[in-house]
Structure 1
Amino acid sequence: MKMPEQIVAVAARVEQRLADHLSGVRGPRQPPERLAEAMRYAALGGGKRFRPFLLIECAGLFGVKLENALDAAVALECVHCYSLVHDDLPAMDDDALRRGRPTLHLAFDEATAILAGDGLLTLAFEILATPQTHGDAAVRGALTLSLARAAGWGGMAGGQSLDLEAEGKPARIDEIRHLQGLKTGALIEYACVAGAILGRA
Protein backbone atom coordinates (compact mmCIF):
# COMPACT_ATOMS: atom_id res chain seq x y z
CA MET A 1 0.00 0.00 0.00
CA LYS A 2 1.40 3.40 -1.00
CA MET A 3 1.53 5.85 1.88
CA PRO A 4 0.32 9.45 1.39
CA GLU A 5 3.16 11.86 0.61
CA GLN A 6 2.60 13.89 3.78
CA ILE A 7 3.07 10.81 5.99
CA VAL A 8 6.17 9.78 4.01
CA ALA A 9 7.69 13.25 4.40
CA VAL A 10 7.09 13.33 8.16
CA ALA A 11 8.39 9.76 8.50
CA ALA A 12 11.65 10.84 6.86
CA ARG A 13 12.06 13.71 9.34
CA VAL A 14 11.30 11.40 12.27
CA GLU A 15 13.75 8.79 10.95
CA GLN A 16 16.52 11.38 10.68
CA ARG A 17 15.95 12.79 14.17
CA LEU A 18 15.73 9.26 15.57
CA ALA A 19 19.05 8.44 13.89
CA ASP A 20 20.55 11.58 15.40
CA HIS A 21 19.46 10.54 18.89
CA LEU A 22 20.86 7.05 18.37
CA SER A 23 24.15 8.14 16.82
CA GLY A 24 25.95 9.78 19.70
CA VAL A 25 26.45 9.92 23.41
CA ARG A 26 23.81 12.03 25.15
CA GLY A 27 25.12 11.70 28.67
CA PRO A 28 28.43 11.32 30.49
CA ARG A 29 28.84 7.62 29.66
CA GLN A 30 29.62 5.90 26.37
CA PRO A 31 27.08 3.12 25.65
CA PRO A 32 28.39 -0.31 24.61
CA GLU A 33 28.61 -0.35 20.81
CA ARG A 34 26.80 -3.69 20.45
CA LEU A 35 23.84 -2.38 22.44
CA ALA A 36 23.78 0.88 20.46
CA GLU A 37 23.93 -1.10 17.21
CA ALA A 38 21.02 -3.29 18.34
CA MET A 39 18.95 -0.24 19.26
CA ARG A 40 19.60 1.28 15.84
CA TYR A 41 18.68 -2.02 14.16
CA ALA A 42 15.38 -2.05 16.04
CA ALA A 43 14.42 1.58 15.52
CA LEU A 44 15.75 2.55 12.09
CA GLY A 45 15.15 1.38 8.54
CA GLY A 46 11.46 0.71 8.42
CA GLY A 47 8.04 1.46 9.80
CA LYS A 48 5.32 3.89 8.82
CA ARG A 49 5.96 6.22 11.79
CA PHE A 50 2.19 6.60 12.14
CA ARG A 51 2.24 7.47 15.84
CA PRO A 52 4.81 10.27 15.45
CA PHE A 53 2.87 11.56 12.44
CA LEU A 54 -0.32 11.68 14.49
CA LEU A 55 1.43 13.51 17.33
CA ILE A 56 2.90 16.08 14.95
CA GLU A 57 -0.44 16.60 13.19
CA CYS A 58 -2.29 17.03 16.49
CA ALA A 59 0.34 19.49 17.71
CA GLY A 60 -0.09 21.38 14.45
CA LEU A 61 -3.77 21.88 15.24
CA PHE A 62 -2.61 24.05 18.15
CA GLY A 63 -0.06 26.01 16.13
CA VAL A 64 3.01 23.92 17.02
CA LYS A 65 5.52 23.69 14.17
CA LEU A 66 6.81 20.27 13.10
CA GLU A 67 10.33 21.05 14.34
CA ASN A 68 8.99 21.84 17.81
CA ALA A 69 7.08 18.56 18.02
CA LEU A 70 9.76 16.33 16.52
CA ASP A 71 11.55 15.26 19.70
CA ALA A 72 8.31 14.33 21.46
CA ALA A 73 7.36 12.35 18.35
CA VAL A 74 10.72 10.55 18.37
CA ALA A 75 10.29 9.68 22.05
CA LEU A 76 6.93 8.11 21.22
CA GLU A 77 8.49 6.11 18.39
CA CYS A 78 11.20 4.84 20.74
CA VAL A 79 8.50 3.42 23.01
CA HIS A 80 6.71 1.84 20.06
CA CYS A 81 9.94 0.26 18.78
CA TYR A 82 10.81 -1.07 22.22
CA SER A 83 7.38 -2.69 22.42
CA LEU A 84 7.92 -4.44 19.08
CA VAL A 85 11.30 -5.80 20.18
CA HIS A 86 9.85 -7.27 23.37
CA ASP A 87 6.69 -8.48 21.60
CA ASP A 88 8.85 -10.51 19.18
CA LEU A 89 10.77 -12.32 21.94
CA PRO A 90 10.47 -16.12 22.33
CA ALA A 91 8.70 -15.63 25.68
CA MET A 92 5.96 -13.64 23.93
CA ASP A 93 5.10 -13.95 20.22
CA ASP A 94 8.35 -15.66 19.17
CA ASP A 95 8.37 -13.96 15.77
CA ALA A 96 11.15 -14.50 13.22
CA LEU A 97 10.57 -11.45 11.01
CA ARG A 98 9.86 -7.79 11.65
CA ARG A 99 9.61 -5.26 8.81
CA GLY A 100 11.02 -7.82 6.38
CA ARG A 101 14.17 -8.53 8.43
CA PRO A 102 15.10 -11.04 11.13
CA THR A 103 13.75 -9.96 14.49
CA LEU A 104 16.27 -8.43 16.86
CA HIS A 105 16.70 -11.47 19.07
CA LEU A 106 17.62 -13.52 15.97
CA ALA A 107 19.83 -10.86 14.40
CA PHE A 108 21.70 -10.41 17.70
CA ASP A 109 20.65 -12.57 20.65
CA GLU A 110 17.82 -12.68 23.16
CA ALA A 111 19.63 -10.91 25.99
CA THR A 112 20.74 -8.08 23.71
CA ALA A 113 17.18 -7.73 22.40
CA ILE A 114 15.84 -7.34 25.93
CA LEU A 115 18.46 -4.73 26.74
CA ALA A 116 17.91 -2.89 23.44
CA GLY A 117 14.20 -2.68 24.24
CA ASP A 118 15.03 -1.39 27.71
CA GLY A 119 17.42 1.12 26.16
CA LEU A 120 14.82 2.43 23.72
CA LEU A 121 12.21 2.78 26.45
CA THR A 122 14.51 4.73 28.74
CA LEU A 123 15.84 6.82 25.84
CA ALA A 124 12.26 7.97 25.24
CA PHE A 125 12.05 9.43 28.73
CA GLU A 126 15.54 10.91 28.47
CA ILE A 127 14.45 12.72 25.30
CA LEU A 128 11.26 14.00 26.94
CA ALA A 129 13.21 15.27 29.97
CA THR A 130 15.60 17.47 27.96
CA PRO A 131 14.91 21.19 27.41
CA GLN A 132 15.42 20.61 23.67
CA THR A 133 12.03 18.86 23.63
CA HIS A 134 10.27 21.85 25.21
CA GLY A 135 11.49 24.88 27.11
CA ASP A 136 8.77 24.61 29.77
CA ALA A 137 9.49 22.01 32.44
CA ALA A 138 5.76 21.70 33.18
CA VAL A 139 5.09 20.69 29.57
CA ARG A 140 7.94 18.17 29.68
CA GLY A 141 6.57 16.77 32.92
CA ALA A 142 3.07 16.42 31.48
CA LEU A 143 4.42 14.66 28.38
CA THR A 144 6.47 12.29 30.52
CA LEU A 145 3.63 11.41 32.90
CA SER A 146 1.17 10.85 30.06
CA LEU A 147 3.59 8.62 28.15
CA ALA A 148 4.43 6.60 31.27
CA ARG A 149 0.72 5.94 31.82
CA ALA A 150 0.11 5.08 28.16
CA ALA A 151 3.05 2.67 27.99
CA GLY A 152 2.76 1.13 31.44
CA TRP A 153 0.65 -1.41 33.28
CA GLY A 154 -2.58 0.52 32.71
CA GLY A 155 -1.80 0.94 29.01
CA MET A 156 0.30 -0.85 26.42
CA ALA A 157 2.11 -3.22 28.82
CA GLY A 158 -1.21 -4.12 30.41
CA GLY A 159 -2.67 -4.84 26.99
CA GLN A 160 0.26 -7.10 26.13
CA SER A 161 -0.30 -8.97 29.39
CA LEU A 162 -3.97 -9.49 28.53
CA ASP A 163 -2.97 -10.63 25.03
CA LEU A 164 -0.65 -13.29 26.45
CA GLU A 165 -3.31 -14.44 28.93
CA ALA A 166 -5.89 -14.74 26.14
CA GLU A 167 -3.73 -16.85 23.82
CA GLY A 168 -5.56 -19.99 22.73
CA LYS A 169 -8.77 -19.02 24.55
CA PRO A 170 -12.05 -17.81 23.05
CA ALA A 171 -12.59 -14.10 23.68
CA ARG A 172 -15.69 -11.93 23.71
CA ILE A 173 -15.84 -8.81 21.55
CA ASP A 174 -15.74 -6.55 24.61
CA GLU A 175 -12.60 -8.34 25.87
CA ILE A 176 -10.91 -7.90 22.48
CA ARG A 177 -11.84 -4.22 22.41
CA HIS A 178 -10.46 -3.71 25.90
CA LEU A 179 -7.23 -5.54 25.05
CA GLN A 180 -6.70 -3.59 21.83
CA GLY A 181 -7.63 -0.34 23.53
CA LEU A 182 -4.69 -0.87 25.87
CA LYS A 183 -2.14 -2.65 23.68
CA THR A 184 -2.58 -0.51 20.56
CA GLY A 185 -4.94 2.31 21.47
CA ALA A 186 -3.07 3.73 24.45
CA LEU A 187 -0.11 5.00 22.43
CA ILE A 188 -2.37 6.29 19.66
CA GLU A 189 -4.38 8.19 22.26
CA TYR A 190 -1.14 9.49 23.74
CA ALA A 191 -0.09 10.83 20.34
CA CYS A 192 -3.20 13.02 20.29
CA VAL A 193 -2.87 14.05 23.93
CA ALA A 194 0.82 14.89 23.52
CA GLY A 195 0.06 17.15 20.58
CA ALA A 196 -2.41 19.04 22.76
CA ILE A 197 0.09 19.22 25.64
CA LEU A 198 2.73 20.69 23.32
CA GLY A 199 0.17 23.24 22.17
CA ARG A 200 -0.76 24.06 25.78
CA ALA A 201 -4.38 23.21 25.04
Structure 2
Amino acid sequence: MTNATPHAPHRTLAAPDGFDNWLTAFRDQVEGRLTAALDHQLVDTPPRLARALRHTTLDGGKRFRPALVFLGSLIGRPWPETDESRFDSLWPAAIAVELVHVYSLVHDDLPSMDDDDLRRGRPTLHRAFDEATAILAGDALQSLAFTTLAEAQADTATRLDWTRRLAAAIGPAGMVGGQAIDLALAGQVGEDGAPDLARLADLHDRKTGALIRASLVMGARWAGLPERQLRLVDDFGRLLGRAFQIQDDILDVTGSAEDLGKTPGKDAATDKCSYVTVAGLDGARRELDDTVRHAHAVLWELATLGADGQALSACLDFVTRRRY
Protein backbone atom coordinates (compact mmCIF):
# COMPACT_ATOMS: atom_id res chain seq x y z
CA MET A 1 0.00 0.00 0.00
CA THR A 2 2.73 2.44 0.95
CA ASN A 3 4.20 2.60 -2.52
CA ALA A 4 0.76 3.36 -3.99
CA THR A 5 0.03 6.17 -1.53
CA PRO A 6 1.17 9.65 -2.59
CA HIS A 7 3.28 11.68 -0.19
CA ALA A 8 1.19 14.11 1.84
CA PRO A 9 2.21 17.78 1.88
CA HIS A 10 4.70 18.39 4.65
CA ARG A 11 2.28 19.92 7.13
CA THR A 12 1.17 16.67 8.73
CA LEU A 13 2.38 17.42 12.23
CA ALA A 14 2.42 21.21 12.28
CA ALA A 15 0.09 22.76 14.83
CA PRO A 16 0.87 26.48 15.14
CA ASP A 17 -2.74 27.29 16.06
CA GLY A 18 -3.34 24.52 18.60
CA PHE A 19 -4.51 20.95 18.77
CA ASP A 20 -7.96 21.44 17.23
CA ASN A 21 -6.57 23.05 14.10
CA TRP A 22 -3.85 20.43 13.89
CA LEU A 23 -6.42 17.64 14.13
CA THR A 24 -8.53 19.26 11.41
CA ALA A 25 -5.55 19.48 9.05
CA PHE A 26 -4.50 15.96 9.95
CA ARG A 27 -8.02 14.66 9.27
CA ASP A 28 -7.82 15.99 5.71
CA GLN A 29 -4.60 14.07 5.16
CA VAL A 30 -6.02 10.87 6.63
CA GLU A 31 -8.87 11.18 4.14
CA GLY A 32 -6.42 11.32 1.24
CA ARG A 33 -4.40 8.38 2.56
CA LEU A 34 -7.52 6.28 3.16
CA THR A 35 -8.78 7.03 -0.34
CA ALA A 36 -5.43 5.97 -1.82
CA ALA A 37 -5.38 2.82 0.32
CA LEU A 38 -8.85 1.78 -0.83
CA ASP A 39 -8.03 2.58 -4.45
CA HIS A 40 -5.04 0.26 -4.14
CA GLN A 41 -6.68 -2.59 -2.25
CA LEU A 42 -10.20 -2.74 -3.70
CA VAL A 43 -9.24 -3.34 -7.34
CA ASP A 44 -10.71 -6.87 -7.44
CA THR A 45 -13.51 -6.30 -4.93
CA PRO A 46 -17.17 -6.94 -5.95
CA PRO A 47 -18.67 -3.54 -6.79
CA ARG A 48 -21.40 -3.46 -4.13
CA LEU A 49 -18.97 -4.41 -1.37
CA ALA A 50 -16.48 -1.82 -2.65
CA ARG A 51 -19.19 0.87 -2.55
CA ALA A 52 -20.11 -0.13 0.98
CA LEU A 53 -16.48 0.05 2.11
CA ARG A 54 -16.06 3.52 0.64
CA HIS A 55 -19.37 4.66 2.10
CA THR A 56 -18.43 3.69 5.64
CA THR A 57 -14.72 4.56 5.56
CA LEU A 58 -14.53 7.91 3.77
CA ASP A 59 -15.89 11.40 4.42
CA GLY A 60 -16.46 11.28 8.14
CA GLY A 61 -15.12 10.79 11.62
CA LYS A 62 -12.67 12.55 13.89
CA ARG A 63 -9.72 10.38 12.70
CA PHE A 64 -8.65 10.54 16.34
CA ARG A 65 -6.95 7.15 16.56
CA PRO A 66 -4.60 7.61 13.59
CA ALA A 67 -3.74 11.00 15.08
CA LEU A 68 -2.72 9.19 18.26
CA VAL A 69 -0.23 7.10 16.30
CA PHE A 70 1.54 10.30 15.27
CA LEU A 71 1.25 11.88 18.70
CA GLY A 72 2.85 8.79 20.21
CA SER A 73 5.80 9.24 17.90
CA LEU A 74 6.30 12.81 19.18
CA ILE A 75 6.72 11.97 22.86
CA GLY A 76 10.08 13.26 23.98
CA ARG A 77 10.30 15.67 21.04
CA PRO A 78 9.29 19.32 20.70
CA TRP A 79 5.75 19.82 19.45
CA PRO A 80 4.81 20.90 16.86
CA GLU A 81 7.27 18.89 14.81
CA THR A 82 8.84 20.60 11.80
CA ASP A 83 10.85 17.82 10.12
CA GLU A 84 7.92 15.80 8.79
CA SER A 85 9.26 13.82 5.84
CA ARG A 86 10.72 11.22 8.18
CA PHE A 87 7.19 10.30 9.31
CA ASP A 88 6.14 8.80 5.97
CA SER A 89 6.84 5.24 7.12
CA LEU A 90 4.46 5.71 10.06
CA TRP A 91 1.39 6.22 7.87
CA PRO A 92 0.58 2.50 7.39
CA ALA A 93 0.15 2.10 11.16
CA ALA A 94 -2.16 5.12 11.29
CA ILE A 95 -4.25 3.88 8.36
CA ALA A 96 -4.47 0.34 9.77
CA VAL A 97 -5.71 1.68 13.10
CA GLU A 98 -8.43 3.72 11.39
CA LEU A 99 -9.56 0.79 9.24
CA VAL A 100 -9.92 -1.33 12.37
CA HIS A 101 -11.82 1.46 14.12
CA VAL A 102 -14.26 1.78 11.21
CA TYR A 103 -14.80 -1.99 11.26
CA SER A 104 -15.64 -1.79 14.96
CA LEU A 105 -18.23 0.92 14.32
CA VAL A 106 -19.87 -1.04 11.50
CA HIS A 107 -20.27 -4.14 13.68
CA ASP A 108 -21.18 -2.15 16.80
CA ASP A 109 -24.12 -0.57 14.95
CA LEU A 110 -25.59 -3.92 13.82
CA PRO A 111 -29.08 -4.92 15.02
CA SER A 112 -27.57 -7.77 17.04
CA MET A 113 -25.24 -5.33 18.82
CA ASP A 114 -26.24 -1.70 19.53
CA ASP A 115 -28.83 -1.53 16.73
CA ASP A 116 -28.21 2.06 15.65
CA ASP A 117 -29.46 3.90 12.59
CA LEU A 118 -27.10 6.87 12.50
CA ARG A 119 -23.31 7.11 12.40
CA ARG A 120 -21.17 10.12 11.50
CA GLY A 121 -24.31 11.97 10.49
CA ARG A 122 -25.34 9.36 7.93
CA PRO A 123 -27.33 6.12 7.90
CA THR A 124 -25.36 3.25 9.40
CA LEU A 125 -24.00 0.78 6.89
CA HIS A 126 -26.62 -1.90 7.48
CA ARG A 127 -29.27 0.76 6.86
CA ALA A 128 -27.61 2.24 3.80
CA PHE A 129 -27.01 -1.23 2.30
CA ASP A 130 -28.11 -4.31 4.26
CA GLU A 131 -27.05 -6.30 7.30
CA ALA A 132 -25.14 -8.99 5.43
CA THR A 133 -23.15 -6.41 3.48
CA ALA A 134 -22.33 -4.59 6.72
CA ILE A 135 -21.00 -7.79 8.31
CA LEU A 136 -18.88 -8.54 5.25
CA ALA A 137 -17.60 -4.96 5.08
CA GLY A 138 -16.48 -5.15 8.71
CA ASP A 139 -14.68 -8.42 8.00
CA ALA A 140 -13.04 -6.87 4.95
CA LEU A 141 -11.85 -3.81 6.89
CA GLN A 142 -10.03 -6.04 9.37
CA SER A 143 -8.30 -7.82 6.52
CA LEU A 144 -7.38 -4.54 4.81
CA ALA A 145 -5.89 -3.23 8.05
CA PHE A 146 -3.50 -6.13 8.48
CA THR A 147 -2.64 -6.16 4.78
CA THR A 148 -1.67 -2.51 5.19
CA LEU A 149 0.69 -3.40 8.03
CA ALA A 150 2.17 -6.33 6.10
CA GLU A 151 2.98 -4.05 3.16
CA ALA A 152 4.44 -1.25 5.29
CA GLN A 153 7.91 0.03 4.41
CA ALA A 154 9.20 -0.49 7.94
CA ASP A 155 11.70 -2.92 9.41
CA THR A 156 10.48 -6.42 10.21
CA ALA A 157 10.60 -5.96 13.99
CA THR A 158 8.43 -2.84 13.78
CA ARG A 159 5.87 -4.47 11.49
CA LEU A 160 5.63 -7.48 13.81
CA ASP A 161 5.25 -5.25 16.84
CA TRP A 162 2.50 -3.20 15.17
CA THR A 163 0.69 -6.36 14.10
CA ARG A 164 0.91 -7.95 17.53
CA ARG A 165 -0.25 -4.83 19.37
CA LEU A 166 -3.15 -4.15 17.03
CA ALA A 167 -4.32 -7.77 17.06
CA ALA A 168 -4.18 -7.91 20.86
CA ALA A 169 -6.05 -4.60 21.19
CA ILE A 170 -9.00 -5.75 19.12
CA GLY A 171 -9.09 -9.41 20.18
CA PRO A 172 -10.92 -11.36 22.90
CA ALA A 173 -8.91 -9.72 25.69
CA GLY A 174 -9.45 -6.28 24.16
CA MET A 175 -12.16 -4.66 22.05
CA VAL A 176 -14.11 -7.80 21.14
CA GLY A 177 -14.01 -9.00 24.73
CA GLY A 178 -15.24 -5.61 25.90
CA GLN A 179 -18.13 -5.77 23.48
CA ALA A 180 -19.04 -9.23 24.79
CA ILE A 181 -19.05 -7.93 28.37
CA ASP A 182 -21.13 -4.92 27.29
CA LEU A 183 -23.77 -7.17 25.73
CA ALA A 184 -23.81 -9.45 28.77
CA LEU A 185 -24.40 -6.52 31.13
CA ALA A 186 -27.13 -4.86 29.06
CA GLY A 187 -30.27 -4.35 31.10
CA GLN A 188 -28.58 -4.78 34.48
CA VAL A 189 -28.50 -1.10 35.46
CA GLY A 190 -30.29 -0.64 38.79
CA GLU A 191 -30.58 -4.38 39.42
CA ASP A 192 -28.86 -6.64 41.91
CA GLY A 193 -25.50 -7.55 40.47
CA ALA A 194 -25.30 -4.36 38.37
CA PRO A 195 -21.69 -3.40 37.59
CA ASP A 196 -19.85 -1.00 39.84
CA LEU A 197 -17.46 1.63 38.47
CA ALA A 198 -14.47 -0.72 38.65
CA ARG A 199 -16.19 -3.30 36.44
CA LEU A 200 -17.43 -0.57 34.13
CA ALA A 201 -13.89 0.75 33.80
CA ASP A 202 -12.66 -2.75 32.87
CA LEU A 203 -15.38 -3.05 30.24
CA HIS A 204 -14.53 0.24 28.57
CA ASP A 205 -10.76 -0.11 29.00
CA ARG A 206 -11.24 -3.08 26.67
CA LYS A 207 -14.00 -1.94 24.32
CA THR A 208 -12.86 1.65 23.76
CA GLY A 209 -9.54 2.07 25.50
CA ALA A 210 -7.56 -0.84 24.09
CA LEU A 211 -7.38 0.56 20.56
CA ILE A 212 -6.67 4.09 21.79
CA ARG A 213 -3.89 2.73 23.99
CA ALA A 214 -2.41 0.63 21.17
CA SER A 215 -2.48 3.57 18.75
CA LEU A 216 -0.31 5.69 21.04
CA VAL A 217 2.13 2.90 21.81
CA MET A 218 2.50 1.91 18.14
CA GLY A 219 3.74 5.42 17.39
CA ALA A 220 5.96 5.58 20.46
CA ARG A 221 7.46 2.16 19.69
CA TRP A 222 8.20 3.26 16.11
CA ALA A 223 10.01 6.33 17.47
CA GLY A 224 12.25 4.17 19.66
CA LEU A 225 11.03 5.39 23.04
CA PRO A 226 12.85 3.64 25.92
CA GLU A 227 10.99 0.80 27.62
CA ARG A 228 10.37 2.68 30.87
CA GLN A 229 8.79 5.57 28.99
CA LEU A 230 6.80 3.15 26.82
CA ARG A 231 5.19 1.71 29.96
CA LEU A 232 4.13 5.20 31.02
CA VAL A 233 2.75 5.95 27.56
CA ASP A 234 0.75 2.73 27.77
CA ASP A 235 -0.60 3.79 31.18
CA PHE A 236 -1.50 7.24 29.85
CA GLY A 237 -3.22 5.63 26.87
CA ARG A 238 -5.39 3.56 29.22
CA LEU A 239 -6.46 6.71 31.09
CA LEU A 240 -6.97 8.67 27.86
CA GLY A 241 -9.23 5.91 26.55
CA ARG A 242 -11.21 5.92 29.77
CA ALA A 243 -11.59 9.72 29.66
CA PHE A 244 -12.72 9.45 26.04
CA GLN A 245 -15.43 6.95 26.97
CA ILE A 246 -16.66 8.87 30.00
CA GLN A 247 -16.99 11.99 27.86
CA ASP A 248 -18.83 9.91 25.26
CA ASP A 249 -21.28 8.75 27.93
CA ILE A 250 -21.80 12.33 29.12
CA LEU A 251 -22.39 13.54 25.56
CA ASP A 252 -24.94 10.76 25.04
CA VAL A 253 -27.04 12.62 27.61
CA THR A 254 -26.10 16.24 26.91
CA GLY A 255 -25.33 16.27 23.17
CA SER A 256 -27.47 16.54 20.04
CA ALA A 257 -27.65 14.29 17.00
CA GLU A 258 -26.37 17.18 14.89
CA ASP A 259 -23.23 17.58 17.01
CA LEU A 260 -22.64 13.88 17.68
CA GLY A 261 -23.45 12.49 14.25
CA LYS A 262 -25.24 9.61 16.00
CA THR A 263 -28.38 9.05 18.03
CA PRO A 264 -28.19 10.60 21.52
CA GLY A 265 -29.91 9.05 24.54
CA LYS A 266 -29.27 5.50 23.36
CA ASP A 267 -27.64 4.30 26.59
CA ALA A 268 -30.63 5.02 28.83
CA ALA A 269 -33.15 3.95 26.18
CA THR A 270 -31.51 0.53 25.80
CA ASP A 271 -30.53 0.04 29.47
CA LYS A 272 -26.83 0.04 28.62
CA CYS A 273 -24.20 0.25 31.32
CA SER A 274 -22.51 3.62 30.95
CA TYR A 275 -20.82 5.94 33.40
CA VAL A 276 -23.97 8.06 33.44
CA THR A 277 -26.48 5.22 33.84
CA VAL A 278 -24.36 3.67 36.60
CA ALA A 279 -23.11 6.78 38.46
CA GLY A 280 -25.43 9.56 37.27
CA LEU A 281 -24.36 12.63 35.30
CA ASP A 282 -22.61 14.30 38.25
CA GLY A 283 -20.93 11.04 39.18
CA ALA A 284 -19.68 10.59 35.61
CA ARG A 285 -18.25 14.11 35.64
CA ARG A 286 -16.45 13.40 38.92
CA GLU A 287 -15.06 10.19 37.45
CA LEU A 288 -13.85 12.14 34.42
CA ASP A 289 -12.10 14.71 36.62
CA ASP A 290 -10.43 11.94 38.61
CA THR A 291 -9.28 10.17 35.44
CA VAL A 292 -7.82 13.40 34.06
CA ARG A 293 -5.90 14.02 37.29
CA HIS A 294 -4.38 10.54 37.09
CA ALA A 295 -3.47 11.09 33.44
CA HIS A 296 -1.68 14.34 34.26
CA ALA A 297 0.23 12.55 37.00
CA VAL A 298 1.51 10.09 34.38
CA LEU A 299 2.54 12.99 32.14
CA TRP A 300 4.41 14.52 35.07
CA GLU A 301 6.27 11.23 35.57
CA LEU A 302 7.12 11.17 31.87
CA ALA A 303 8.49 14.70 32.20
CA THR A 304 10.79 13.59 35.03
CA LEU A 305 12.30 11.14 32.53
CA GLY A 306 12.92 13.95 30.05
CA ALA A 307 9.96 13.21 27.76
CA ASP A 308 7.97 16.19 26.47
CA GLY A 309 4.27 15.42 26.95
CA GLN A 310 2.94 18.69 25.50
CA ALA A 311 1.16 16.96 22.62
CA LEU A 312 -0.44 14.41 24.94
CA SER A 313 -1.61 17.11 27.34
CA ALA A 314 -3.24 19.00 24.45
CA CYS A 315 -4.87 15.77 23.30
CA LEU A 316 -6.26 15.06 26.77
CA ASP A 317 -7.70 18.56 26.92
CA PHE A 318 -9.38 18.01 23.54
CA VAL A 319 -10.91 14.73 24.70
CA THR A 320 -12.46 16.25 27.82
CA ARG A 321 -13.98 19.34 26.18
CA ARG A 322 -15.08 17.91 22.84
CA ARG A 323 -18.74 18.09 21.86
CA TYR A 324 -18.78 15.31 19.23
TM-score by length of 1: 0.92
Judge conservation of contact 1:62–1:199 (CA < 8 Å) in 2: no
Distance 2:157 2:41 in 1: 26
Distance 1:131 1:161 in 2: 32
Q: Is residue 59 from structure 1 mapped to residue 70 from structure 2 by the alignment?
A: no
Question: Match of 2:107?
Answer: 86
Distance 1:144 1:24 in 2: 20
Q: Is residue 17 from structure 1 mapped to residue 38 from structure 2 by the alignment?
A: no
Residues 122-161 of structure 1 aligned to structure 2 (within 5 Å): 122-132=143-153, 134=154, 136-161=155-180
Q: Is residue 50 from structure 1 mapped to residue 74 from structure 2 by the alignment?
A: no
- Structure 2 unaligned residues grouped into runs of 5+: 1-18, 78-83, 190-194, 226-324
Supply the RMSD in Å over aligned alpha carbons: 1.6
Q: What displacement does 1:197 show? A: 2.0
Q: What displacement does 1:40 show? A: 1.0
Q: What displacement does 1:157 show? A: 0.5
Give the residue type in structure 2 aligned to 1:139.
Answer: T
Distance 2:176 2:104 in 1: 8
Any idea what the Cα deviations from partners look like across 1:147-183, whole Å, max 9, x if unmatched? Answer: 0000110101111111111111032111110001000
| Aligned-pair identity (%) | 48
Distance 2:112 2:199 in 1: 23
Question: Match of 2:129?
Answer: 108
Judge conservation of contact 1:163–1:179 (CA < 8 Å) in 2: yes
Q: Is residue 77 from structure 1 mapped to residue 98 from structure 2 by the alignment?
A: yes
- Structure 1 unaligned residues grouped into runs of 5+: none
Judge conservation of contact 2:100–2:142 (CA < 8 Å) in 1: yes
Q: Which moved more, 1:14-23 or 1:75-84?
A: 14-23
Q: Is residue 36 from structure 1 mapped to residue 50 from structure 2 by the alignment?
A: yes
Give the residue type in structure 2 aligned to 1:83.
Answer: S
Asked which structure has the greater CA Rg, the reply is 2
Question: Match of 1:168?
Answer: 187
Any idea what the Cα deviations from partners look like across 1:34-84, whole Å, max 9, x if unmatched? Answer: 111111111111100111111111113367844232221010000000000
Distance 2:51 2:70 in 1: 27
How many corresponding residue pairs? 195
Question: Match of 2:275?
Answer: none
Partner of 1:11: helix, strand, or coil? helix
Judge conservation of contact 1:95–1:103 (CA < 8 Å) in 2: yes
- RCO higher in structure (CA 8 A, sep ≥6): 1
Distance 1:8 1:147 in 2: 25
Question: Match of 2:20?
Answer: 4
